[in-house]
Amino acid sequence: MALATLAFVALKRRWAGLLLIAASLTFAGGASNLVDRIMRGSVVDFISLGAGPLRTGIFNVADVAILLGGVLMVFGSGREDRVDAPGH
């Protein structure tokens, strides 16, 4: 339901620029987690990055996209970019 609402609002308000990127990241991450849950019963897109002995924690790629999209949405909401329809 949240994914549908996000897509509806982004299309209805004609988001562009930073808000469109934020909505796209959030939607893609959420959709990826949803598909994993439906198809496999659990989320599977985990990754651990590193160079030599220096390693990151293990994290979920889709959750990173959702978090980044949410942060960008907060920063972009103050200057809502929109594509105005012709004649407006």
Tens of pLDDT, residue by residue over 32-47, are 999 999 999 888 878 8
10-36: average pLDDT: 92
pLDDT of residue 53: 87
Tens of pLDDT, residue by residue over 41-82, are 888 878 888 888 888 888 899 999 999 999 998 887 776 555
pLDDT of residue 83: 55
> Which candidate in 36, 63, 81, 84 is catalytic?
63
pLDDT of residue 87: 55
Q: What is the pTM of this model?
A: 0.75
Query: Annotated catalytic, 36?
Result: no
Cβ atoms of 73 and 65 closer than 8 Å: no
Transcribe 58-77 into DSSP letters.
PEEHHHHHHHHHHHHHHHHG
Query: Annotated catalytic, 84?
Result: no
